[in-house]
Structure 1
Amino acid sequence: MQKIRYSRYFKISFILLDVLVIAGVFLFFFLRNNTIAFEAQVWEQNLLSLILLSLYWILLSGRTKLYSIARNITYTIYLERLVTHISIFIFGVILLAKVSNNDFLKQDRFLIAVSLFFLLFIIKSLVFFSLKYLRVRGVNYRNIMFLNEDSATEILRNILTQRKDYGFKIFEFPATERFDLGKLVQFWKEKEIHTMYLSTNGFENNEEYEIYRLAEMHKVRISLIPSIVKNNFFQYDLGYIEMQPVLIRSKFPLDYLTNLTIKRTIDIVFSLFILLFVCSWLFPIIAVLIKSGSKGPVFFLQKRYGYHDEVFECFKFRTMCVNGECTQRTTAENDTRITKIGKFLRKTSLDELPQFLNVLRGEMSVVGPRPHMLLVDDFYKLKIGRYSIRSLVKPGVTGLAQVNGLRGDMGDMDIKMQKRILADAFYVKNWSLSLDLIIIFKTIFLVIGGDKNAN
């Protein structure tokens, strides 16, 4: 018997909570105006405004997917949706105040907007992290299993094992009994399996069909894991010709001229701001420290692949002693080539600051897939099928993979690189201005606090 799934009740609870917050802020500012608070006609007008705003909030969520939150969503992606939703909603509040006959709305519309933004942002963030905490503590978990193994399932298993806050409990089904469908069904019942993950490799068609049939009969969901190495599923979307589904070539957000123009404008403005107000005084200080620590140039130039695999010279502060291996060998743990000041610059990512010159020159963007050494790119292009999807956008000073801890050259690099490519491919396919802003803010916090994954 399947245990109760509390997640189905969360959505309506969250909607009611948000509507109550909106109503509370609305009522607070309404009652501040004591001269009109007790007029019945005014109450009716404002009640209608409140109902319209609440409906607008709920209907807007269908577009922004604010309540369609998977348990495995990261805060970066959730924050992008949250900021987008609240910002559009605030615009609606200000617009309503502009055309409304309500005096208090016209007088306090900006205070109302600011109050709603911060209250909703704080409350929804607290709810998000509270739910994550409960799942870490073993509440509202979901029973899952893997039926077959390959590199893709290994990565997913590793992620779900490390991220306790996702709330997945993995049950192991004996590999020797994989083809015993009777024991598989019994396993589903005993462990109350909710979802079974299958790699797209390793099954005969008849066997796969029978597993799907049994899973549907016993209410077990099946999630397919595409091969990391072979499949190019990121490059296709499901479309329809009348009722016939077809896989069509994806058109990514930055393929559109409007989005490309917005991103380039932000790149120019942001890089100019950093270069003028930060680098103008910080560069000389770093230059003196580098020169005092070791002999050699202040800047280090290295060829990297950029947009559409065009090679460009990437600017960095020099963090190593001058050596002849900089283009043949990646950084190792406790690398003796790294200088004392170099360790600090890498830990705080200050060695990347000169790359804003690359941004200004149009070779890089503020946010995008991080450029790798040429030999690293050449090596992994042959091993990972969708590696080249990175080149469909300009490389970035920071990126989605980096703010999620997927940086550095130590550990199991094959697994780490596959995770990076998944993050980069997600970014290319799901780019938005708000996602860029969230990544920038997370990068700033990492620079201030230091990144433990930097080396």
Structure 2
Amino acid sequence: MQKIRYSRYFKVIFILLDVLVIAGVFVFFFLRNNELKYEKEVWEQNLLSLILLTMFWILLSGRTRLYSIARNLTYTIYLERLVTHIFIFIFGVILLAKVSNNDFIKQDRFLIAIFLFFLLFIIKSLVFIGLKYLRTLGINHRNVMFLTEDSSTEILRNIITERKDYGFKIFDYPTESRFDYDKLVAFWKENGIHTMYISSEGKQIDQNNEREIYKLADLHKVRISLIPSIIKNNFFQYDLGYIETQPILVRSKFPLDFLTNTILKRTFDILFSTVILVGVCTWLFPIIAVLIMIDSKGPVFFLQKRYGFHDRVFKCIKFRTMYVNGDSSHRTTEENDRRITKVGRFLRKSSLDEMPQFINVLKGEMSIVGPRPHMLLVDDFYKLKIGRYSVRSLVKPGVTGLAQVNGLRGDTGDDMNIEMQKRILADAFYVKNWSISLDFVIIIKTMFLVIFGDKNAN
């Protein structure tokens, strides 16, 4: 029997909650300034201002997709949307204070902005995390199944199984019975299947069977989601476009293809790296250098060739974390690697070994945020194995990145390494969905990893 889907009601509840918070802050400052003594016209004007603000909040959400909370939305991406939305909304509050006759808004506009930022940020973060937690308990889950099995579906199955907070429950269906339509329909009804995943890799289903399956799925309100080939396809490099009513795949134009975005990112890189190098590295580098020299013989810094923007080779600077050995250029780091020194292990866990790369940023070879640069042999290996791997080179490599703050690390040199494939997916997502607010969120999450340590670092 089909389960009731509550997600459609969550959006309305979230909007009402946000409107109540905005109205609450507005009324609090209104009463705080003894506006009760004012005449009816003032009350009406203030009510109109409140209505305008709430309408602006709701209309803005269509642009920022604040309420388009897909089950697989991570907190990192949600935080990027939330921060963008709140900052634009606060700008609207300050602008309203400039043009309106509301004395209390003009007087307390910055205080109102601060209150709104922290209240909305905290409340919406708690609601998001709370909803994710409920889904880990099996509440508000969505039933899904896989009709085909291959390397692409294996990665998606692995993600859904690991991320309980996404709220998906997998029902296993015997693939040998996929063309027994009576059994398939009975399986849908018995388990309340919402989505059926079919891989586009290979030709596991012929056209006649495919047409019948699609027809039955449409009849029984089962959604079909296609999984592109993880190994072969460059699907990240294309968008769906139209010539009149005819759909076509067109080459994607990524955010950093635009000059204004490139200038904005480069300006931020220069300012941020200068602040870090002058304010932190001037005293931190000597301390780390002394610890490295006491711990083991060899140079303080380790330089290794890496691929950068458009596959240009540059020398990536790191603190040396291993004993001097001849394997560094052709052997990746392993778990409990004996080559790593005691100080080096701490530097890796805290990501402090990456700090010298701010020099690479200042030189223009790297960016603060971007796909992490790999060893040349790792890049050369995966370029032949993963179709969209080269998308990473369309932006400068970063000191930190979206994949790293989500715990995706490791270069095993294995083309069936699921973790590596998920890492490349995260890098490609970053390239296609870059924004300055997303960079800010990744930097904040990186700071937490530096303070509390990264359990995924080797």
TM-score (ref. length: structure 2): 0.98
The aligned residue for residue 407 of structure 2 is 405
Structure 2 portions without partners, runs of 5+: none
Question: Residues 13-412 of structure 1 correspond to what in structure 2 (within 5 A)?
Answer: 13-34=13-34, 37-201=37-201, 202-409=204-411
Q: CA deviation at 1:410?
A: 6.2
Secondary structure at the residue paired with 1:279?
helix
Q: CA deviation at 1:287?
A: 0.3
Secondary structure at the residue paired with 2:143?
strand
Q: CA deviation at 1:33?
A: 1.2
AA at the equivalent of 1:343: R
Secondary structure at the residue paired with 2:323?
coil
For the Cα contact (< 8 Å) 1:30–1:37, is it kept in 2?
A: no
Q: 14-23 vs 409-418, which deviates more?
A: 409-418
Q: CA deviation at 1:396?
A: 0.2
Q: Please give the alpha-carbon distance, in whole angstroms, between the structure 1 residues aligned to 2:36 and 2:126.
A: 35
Note if 1:450 corresponds to 2:453: yes
CA root-mean-square deviation? 1.1
Question: Can you list the C-alpha shifts for 1:381-432, whole angstroms capped at 9, x where unaligned?
Answer: 1100111000000000000000000013469772111111100000000000
Q: CA deviation at 1:37?
A: 4.4
For the Cα contact (< 8 Å) 1:31–1:37, is it kept in 2?
A: no
The aligned residue for residue 426 of structure 1 is 429
For the Cα contact (< 8 Å) 1:238–1:245, is it kept in 2?
A: yes
Question: Can you list the C-alpha shifts for 1:154-209, whole angstroms capped at 9, x where unaligned?
Answer: 11100100111111010000122122122111100100100001101222122111
For the Cα contact (< 8 Å) 1:237–1:250, is it kept in 2?
A: yes
Secondary structure at the residue paired with 2:66?
coil
For the Cα contact (< 8 Å) 2:332–2:412, is it kept in 1?
A: no
Secondary structure at the residue paired with 2:417?
helix
Q: CA deviation at 1:150?
A: 1.2
Q: CA deviation at 1:10?
A: 0.5
Secondary structure at the residue paired with 2:292?
helix
Q: CA deviation at 1:355?
A: 0.3
Question: Can you list the C-alpha shifts for 1:217-240, whole angstroms capped at 9, x where unaligned?
Answer: 000001110001111111111111
TM-score (ref. length: structure 1): 0.98
AA at the equivalent of 1:292: I
AA at the equivalent of 1:366: I
Say if 1:134 and 1:35 are closer, same or farther in 2 by CA, change over 3 A.
closer
Question: Can you list the C-alpha shifts for 1:8-48, whole angstroms capped at 9, x where unaligned?
Answer: 11011110110010000000000011155442111100000
For the Cα contact (< 8 Å) 2:71–2:166, is it kept in 1?
A: yes
Q: Please give the alpha-carbon distance, in whole angstroms, between the structure 2 residues aligned to 1:3 and 1:287.
A: 60
Q: Please give the alpha-carbon distance, in whole angstroms, between the structure 1 residues aligned to 2:281 and 2:55.
A: 47
Question: Can you list the C-alpha shifts for 1:311-338, whole angstroms capped at 9, x where unaligned?
Answer: 0000000000000000111111211110
Q: Please give the alpha-carbon distance, in whole angstroms, between the structure 2 residues aligned to 1:290 and 1:433.
A: 35
For the Cα contact (< 8 Å) 2:410–2:420, is it kept in 1?
A: no
Secondary structure at the residue paired with 2:304?
strand
AA at the equivalent of 1:270: F
Q: Please give the alpha-carbon distance, in whole angstroms, between the structure 2 residues aligned to 1:15 and 1:335.
A: 51
1:416 to 419, 444, 455: 419
For the Cα contact (< 8 Å) 2:381–2:413, is it kept in 1?
A: no
AA at the equivalent of 1:134: L
Q: CA deviation at 1:288?
A: 0.3
Q: 198-207 vs 319-328, which deviates more?
A: 198-207
Secondary structure at the residue paired with 1:428?
helix
AA at the equivalent of 2:442: I
AA at the equivalent of 1:141: H
Q: Please give the alpha-carbon distance, in whole angstroms, between the structure 1 residues aligned to 2:232 and 2:222.
A: 27
Q: Which aligned segments of 4 or more residues in structure 1 are displaced greater than 2 angstroms?
A: 35-39, 408-413
AA at the equivalent of 1:87: F
AA at the equivalent of 1:105: I
Q: Please give the alpha-carbon distance, in whole angstroms, between the structure 1 residues aligned to 2:241 and 2:281.
A: 48
Say if 1:425 and 1:32 are closer, same or farther in 2 by CA, change over 3 A.
same
Question: Can you list the C-alpha shifts for 1:357-393, whole angstroms capped at 9, x where unaligned?
Answer: 0000000000000000000001111100111000000
Say if 1:37 and 1:377 are closer, same or farther in 2 by CA, change over 3 A.
farther
Q: Please give the alpha-carbon distance, in whole angstroms, between the structure 1 residues aligned to 2:96 and 2:257.
A: 34
Secondary structure at the residue paired with 1:245?
strand
Secondary structure at the residue paired with 2:298?
coil
AA at the equivalent of 1:445: F
Note if 1:8 corresponds to 2:8: yes
Q: Please give the alpha-carbon distance, in whole angstroms, between the structure 2 residues aligned to 1:399 and 1:267.
A: 14
Secondary structure at the residue paired with 2:248?
strand
AA at the equivalent of 1:433: I
Say if 1:382 and 1:409 are closer, same or farther in 2 by CA, change over 3 A.
closer
Question: Can you list the C-alpha shifts for 1:104-155, whole angstroms capped at 9, x where unaligned?
Answer: 0100100001100100000000100110111111110000001111111111
Q: Please give the alpha-carbon distance, in whole angstroms, between the structure 2 residues aligned to 1:352 and 1:57.
A: 40
